[in-house]
Structure 1
């Protein structure tokens, strides 16, 4: 079901959850308007944005005055509210529960562990001018490896996507997190053919929407390569 005016989304595409929302909107053809909030410039701390989201985080969605602030909730709302293919967030209870199972697990596993690698390799050195703390990075990569093992053994197993044989919002959340370390030139799926094949299937399923959402991340990677 569509509404009269485009959905407004406040995004910074260097943010992993923002990219997941962007891909769903783009891929599903939901009319929307992107309002960019540059975190690196502190635009999330302005009075106007703070009124919209007191937590000062992106993404934020506004749909005919209805405000929603968490990526997981935004993705599921969009898939439920708009006329998108059922596979994104299935109505069938068992299939939907499998998506909810992954997204609940995601926030204390895939998200923090992949993000920490990016923070240690890219953000902290950029903000402080210091060298990468190799000890902390090794520990973070070890934690991420445990998460990747579970993605393979618990979620993918013998199926094409994390929650079954069709792509869902769970795959968008996961793939955007696992792409993030690429901003520092690190492909965390290297040497993991099962996960690499999954990522390729996700890219194929969403088409050009994937590269459009990740253009800013690719640009960061290329700028860092040029400096080396």
Structure 2
């Protein structure tokens, strides 16, 4: 029986509970009390050096990050692919929504709920209300054409987002009048047999919050041959990539395109002129983010989802994103590490410089970056690349982020020798050239704003 370490008040854990229930899979649930620091004990750090919940142990195979876990469970234990379609386009939309949950919605768990629950912190919900309402508005747009978040049928994207959104509803209630599609989606979810796994945890969350705070409710690889596409001419004719080269996620996609030898039409958006907010682009991507890929009318955003889609649809082999179940799960885990930990540490550091006239990177933000570096050092302590001994999409994502951080905070090679060796190796690969122009652009934008 698979063992899951976690706690029911965590939305991420509830996503795994719901998925297991939907699959008819029994889990041995082991409680990890974060407020007692059980996630920092040596025996837990041995299985998950990132010290997060949930963590799954399945006959010796260990995986963390709820999104990677639920994809693993469906792939291994599902009788079919209903919850996580094998159709490339359908799966790309599901992956996109999973990364939306990881990078956007779960951010509120990390910044609001967790400090309230486990650190006895007083958090002003009002300071986050506008951002939460914007998240509801995006969900409303996602649901305007289909009953479920990634199409006509329930998927793991729903099972991941349901606990996240309903947990936010505890602190910022969802208005039926303002968000009718979102409300209907929640009501459908509440009728699912597996929803009881969410309801139980929500009740616990409400009880804990009512006691502790004030709230309304209380992939040596041959790049030249291994990854390339079979029909480059077709790709050139049909794909557009909306981009702004300075952005690290864009550079991740550009490096993937180079590794796969795919040529696309590049459509540059001038973000300083707010071109990402033009109605024509919002029609393609209501989250108005770059990169956004338009493949002959099939539109997908989020760099991780785009990269997964490109390999699944166009690569001759699967070396960058293996079809082997356990190997893919490990890559997914590291992709979500970039989504939820590594890239946010960069964004948290530079956003005030770009938008709030801050002229230095606060010490507390450097501490967050150092923690992310320490995780990378641990991941690379026994393997050459982030998800094993073969280069993968996870490395391409991470190198774009790490090299950007190095513009203002150099990696200490003495403290992080494994990361330094990995980084030097990544810079030697052919596709890395696609990182350079955008990296220089980012440098030209950022460094003049910082005091010497």
TM range (shorter): 0.7 to 0.9
Partner of residue 373, structure 2? 148
SS at match of 1:109: helix
Residues 14 and 217 of structure 1 are in contact (CA less than 8 Å); yes or no, is this contact kept in structure 2? Answer: yes
1:113-124 matches, cutoff 5 A: 113-120=345-352, 122-123=353-354
- Identify the structure with bigger relative contact order (alpha carbons < 8 Å, sequence gap 6+): 1
Aligned match for 2:423, one of 180, 190, 199: 199
Indicate if the aligned counterparts of 2:247 and 2:438 stay in contact, CA closer than 8 A: no
Deviations 1:64-102 (A, max 9, x none): 111001111110000000024421101111111110111
TM-score by length of 2: 0.45
Distance 1:220 1:67, change over 3 A: closer
**Please, which of 32, 46, 49 is the counterpart of residue 264 of structure 2?**
32
Matched, 1:217 2:439: yes
Rate the CA distance shift 1:160–1:51 in 2: closer, same or farther, 3 A. same
Q: Please show how residues 14-29 of structure 1 align to structure 2 within 5 Å.
A: 14-29=246-261
Cα shift at 1:220: 4.5
Match of 1:12 among 244, 259, 266: 244
1:167 and 1:139 map into 2 onto residues whose CA distance is: 32
* CA positional deviation for 1:146: 1.2
Contact 2:251–2:438 at 8 Å: present in 1 too?
no
Unaligned runs of 5+ in 2: 1-229
Distance 2:252 2:438 in 1: 14
Structure 1 Cα separation of the partners of residues 275 and 327 of structure 2: 38
Tell me the CA shift for residue 128 of structure 1.
Answer: 4.5
For residue 393 of structure 2, what is the aligned residue in structure 1?
A: 169
- Structure 1 unpaired stretches of 5+: none
Contact 1:53–1:69 (CA under 8 A) maintained in structure 2 = yes
Q: Is the 8 A contact 1:167 1:202 kept in 2?
A: no
Deviations 1:17-54 (A, max 9, x none): 11100100012101311111122221111111111111
Shift of 1:214: 2.6
1:114-148 CA distance string (max 9 Å, x none): 2222334x42xxx444433x5xx110111111111
1:179 aligns with 2:400: no
| d(CA) in 1 for partners of 2:358, 2:371 | 28
Match in the other structure for 1:131: 359
TM-score normalised per structure 1: 0.85
More helix per residue: 1 or 2?
1
The aligned residue for residue 96 of structure 1 is 328
- Does structure 1 conserve the Cα–Cα contact (< 8 Å) formed by 2:244 and 2:290? yes
When Rg is computed on C-alpha atoms for both structures, the one with the higher figure is 2
- Between the aligned partners of 2:270 and 2:439, the Cα distance in structure 1 is 14
Counterparts of 2:358 and 2:315 in 1: how far apart (Å)?
49
Matched positions, count: 217
1:88 aligns to what SS in structure 2? coil
Give the RMSD, CA atoms, in angstroms. Answer: 2.3
Aligned-pair distance for 1:186?
A: 3.0
Query: Following TM superposition, by how much is the alpha carbon of 1:189 offset from its aligned partner in structure 2, in angstroms?
Result: 5.0
